[in-house]
């Protein structure tokens, strides 16, 4: 099952860099890049932290 990913679009709309998001979520910048490119899927806890950090629902970022 493929996970549709709007992370890069939403992150840019919010004016947040990959580095800033990574620090706030507690992961590396490489992890954010991997998620944005669809090469890896975040754990539930990381997905929730990303949503909280960007102020959006996780469902808006990741769609099945």
Query: What is residue 4's predicted lDDT score, i.e. its pLDDT?
Result: 83
Residue 32, domain extent:
4-54
Give the separation between CA 2 and CA 24, rounded to whole angstroms: 26
Q: Would you say residue 8 lies in a domain?
A: yes
* Cα–Cα nearest to 49, from 18, 32, 17, 24: 24
Total domains, the chain: 1
pLDDT in tens, the chain (64 residues): 567 899 999 999 999 999 999 999 999 999 999 999 999 999 999 999 999 999 999 999 998 6
Cα 31 from chain centroid?
A: 9
Cα 55 from chain centroid?
A: 11
Specify whether the CB–CB gap between 32 and 22 falls below 8 A. yes
Structure tokens at 25: 């979520």
Q: Would you say residue 64 lies in a domain?
A: no
Query: What is residue 36's predicted lDDT score, i.e. its pLDDT?
Result: 96
């Amino acid at each position: 099952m493929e996970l549709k990913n709007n992370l890069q679009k939403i992150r840019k709309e919010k004016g947040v860099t990959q580095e800033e998001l990574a620090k706030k979520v507690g992961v590396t910048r490489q992890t954010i890049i991997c998620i944005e490119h669809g090469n890896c899927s975040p754990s539930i806890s990381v997905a929730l932290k990303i949503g909280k950090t960007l102020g959006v629902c996780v469902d808006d970022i990741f769609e099945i």
